Structure 1
């Protein structure tokens, strides 16, 4: 696979992960933490795929195969890091929504 296709693959997996995390957040808001965690799990799989590609690229470069600086790669890294942050925040929100729904059940 050529260098640009590899970079676009990272972007695609990171974008999929981010979308899945926002789906998880919607399920959490609806009071369905199990479905929310299912979506987070799917997001983690996408992030792992992106991370593995990134790691392969790093190993290749460490072995001496250099690539020209690419704004596209910076963009891919940005997508990946944002998706990772979204995943972490959504996991926290799921726990928050679980607490809110649990409290509502005990009050009402």
Structure 2
């Protein structure tokens, strides 16, 4: 396996970990465990940053003249990264909604 393929797998792995942490945060928030959910969301963000850093490295390398081969594996990695970021953003909004509902219910 070459270095580019290793980087692609790093993106897939980190993006998958990010998505998993975000969904775990949502499960915790649904149980009213907002502090734990926030910690899981922070973990999800950190994993997204890891994936994004590898992506940035590949983009910078290509800009500097090292041609990046476009493969199905690379497309798959990009798909994982984009969908994990979208899931994380949506889950963050959903957790906010759950917090609002929890606060409103407590005030009644």
* Bucket of the pairwise TM-score, normalised by the shorter protein: over 0.9
1:55 aligns with 2:56: yes
Per-residue deviation, 1:67: 2.5
> Are 1:46 and 2:43 counterparts?
no
2:34 is aligned to: 33
SS of residue matched to 1:65: coil
Query: What are structure 1's unaligned runs of at least 5 residues?
Result: none
When normalised by structure 2's length, the TM-score is: 0.95
* Residue 101 (structure 1) shift: 0.9
Instruction: Spell out, residue by residue over 1:40-89, the C-alpha distance to the aligned partner (whole angstroms, 9 max, x if none).
Output: 10011100010000000000000000032211001000000001001101
Alignment length (residue pairs):
107
> Which residue in the other structure is 1:10 paired with?
11
Question: Once structures 1 and 2 are overlaid, which stretch shifts more, 30-39 or 57-66?
Answer: 30-39
2:21 aligns with 20
Give the distance between the partners of 2:69 and 2:92, measured in 1 at CA.
Answer: 37
Deviation track 1:20-47 (CA, whole Å, cap 9, x = no partner) reads 0000001110111111111010011100
Which residue of structure 2 lines up, in the alignment, with residue 96 of structure 1?
Answer: 97
Does structure 1 retain, via aligned residues, the 8 Å contact 2:58–2:68? no
TM-score (norm 1): 0.95
Instruction: Give the whole-Å Cα distance in 1 for the aligned partners of 2:68 and 2:91.
Output: 35
Structure 1 moving runs of 4+ over 6 Å: none
| 1:77 matches 2:84 | no
